[in-house]
Amino acid sequence: MSGNPAPGTWHPTPNEMKRSTSAVLLVLVIFFFLVALNFLFFVDTQTAQENEQTGNRSSYRTTPYGTQAFYTLLEETGYPVTRLEKPYNEITDRDDIGTLILITLPEDSSPGKVEFDALNDWLEGGKQIIIIDQTVHLNKELGDIEANTTFAMPKSEVKMLQPTRYTFAVEHLKTGDAASRLRLNSHSAVYHIGDDNGALLADARVKAGHVVFLTDPYIVANNGIKEADNLILALNLLAERPQGKIAFDEFHHGYGSHAAGEGVLAYFRGTPVPWIFWQGVLIAAVAAYTFGRRFARPLPLRRERRTTNLEFVSSMATITRLARATDLAMQNVYWDFRKRLCRYCGLPSNIESAKLATKAARRARLDEQQLARLLTVCDQVSRGRPVSDAELLKLVTRIREIESQIGI
């Protein structure tokens, strides 16, 4: 059936439909773009490219080559562990640290001479350094120690060289593919584990300080600490340590203030924070674009009311008084009050006034007889019983007092 549209209905014009479709398509494109970004971010390419030689050994990492398991184990078994996120030349501010653990620091963030000088002074004061790395090259940066790692150590040739506190209860080790031999030149050098051509585990003294070398990070890594007696050896490294906290060097892994010369941004490296920031910027831009455009026809201007609420009430009261319709006035007040009182008590709206008064008085702690009398009188007035203006005002006042008292 054809004809004109009914009054009050609205049909979009072709231009309005085109703008709405464009807006919907824009939102969908942005949504799928954000989803693609999330998929791109959560593909951990760094983890996929890691191996025993290149793995990130940070104690923050839960990947197979990280050392978070070792850190968490120490923390949960009562060892006073912490993470050092400052350069070594600021370590003097941490007198509470007694042992510093360095695990395969990245080459691009290796400490320089200023840091080594500060570290050496700290070490000579009776502290301990544990260096766990398959590549070690020291030329008297720490006391008189000269240390160099050579070719790999075959797993079949690893053996306990002598009974010491480090080899206690260690019968068999499972080493990784990156384990290497260490040649240590120092007046106090001691080899504990290795073979006839070099050491896997060795230590040396630097005045009152102590340096321990372990050339296989696999032993303390997430994927190796549970193998054979690796865990026992990892704990033996800390068996006789100086007093103070055990600090894992995380500054040179890219964490902490001014790490790797990147400032605070380095702390968020490898986390979703940068993506979250840029997604937030993009969403804010889309929101600004959306609210700045109109996707439908203009709305008419709001018309201000020409009368106030007080004028409306005054007019209705005058009409009611002139028409002598007190029952209508009472109906407007009383039945609305009764309906909310039933809802307050969890009762149906057609319940008898006596039962409503009993339940409401018990819950709101009101006088049951007075409430029942009020409901009865109001019911009678709303059904046409004559009442004076003073009595009507008294009834309405009492209703408002009860509403205010019980909060309905």
Rounded average pLDDT per 10-residue block, the chain, 408 residues: 46 54 71 67 60 87 92 94 90 82 89 89 93 92 91 84 93 90 92 92 94 95 93 93 94 70 52 71 78 66 61 59 65 83 86 87 87 87 79 84 85
Please state, as a whole number, how many other Cβ atoms lie within 10 Å of the Cβ of residue 110. 11
Amino acid, res. 251: F
**Alpha-helical regions (H) of 220-272:** 230-236
The 3-state DSSP class for residue 101 equals strand
The number of helices, as runs of H, and strands, as runs of E, in the chain is 11, 11
pLDDT value at residue 296: 63
**pLDDT value, residue 81:** 96
pLDDT value for 324: 63
Distance CA 327, CA 400 (A): 18
Rounded to whole angstroms, how far apart are CA atoms 363 and 101?
68
CB burial readout 311-343, b (16+ within 10 A) else e: eeeeeeeeebeeeeebbebbbebbeebbeebbe
For residue 153, the Cα-to-chain-centroid distance in whole angstroms is 43
- Exposed (0-12), middle (13-18) or buried (19+): which is 367, by Cβ within 10 Å? exposed
* Strand partners of residue 205: 210
Question: What residues form DSSP beta bridges with 202?
Answer: 191, 213
Residues 178, 217 contacting (CB under 8 angstroms): yes
For the domain bounded by 49-261, which CATH number is listed? Answer: 3.40.50.880
Residue type (1 letter), 89: N
What angle (nearest 5°) sits at the alpha carbon of residue 290, between those of residues 285 and 294? 150
Contact between residue 166 and residue 199 where contact means Cβ atoms under 8 Å apart: no
Q: Taking a C-beta distance cutoff of 8 angstroms, is the pair 138, 105 a contact? A: no
The rounded distance, in Å, linking the Cα atoms of 314 and 311 is: 5
Domain boundaries, the chain: 49-261, 309-406
Distance CA 368, CA 287 (A): 57
Residues 6+ apart with CB under 8 A from 194: 153, 158, 159, 161, 181, 182, 200, 201, 202
Asked whether the beta carbons of 92 and 125 are under 8 A apart, the reply is no
CA pair distance 205, 126, nearest whole angstrom: 10
Given the DSSP bridges, would you call strands 209-214 and 128-132 parallel, antiparallel or unpaired?
parallel
> What is the residue type of 147?
A
Structure confidence at residue 10 (pLDDT): 47
Angle of helix 309-323 relative to helix 326-345, nearest 10 degrees?
120
The residues, any chain, with a CB within 8 Å of residue 183's CB and separated by 6 or more, are 147, 148, 149, 150, 198, 199
- Measured between alpha carbons, how far apart are the two ends of the chain, in Å? 51
CB 219 within 8 A of CB 234: yes
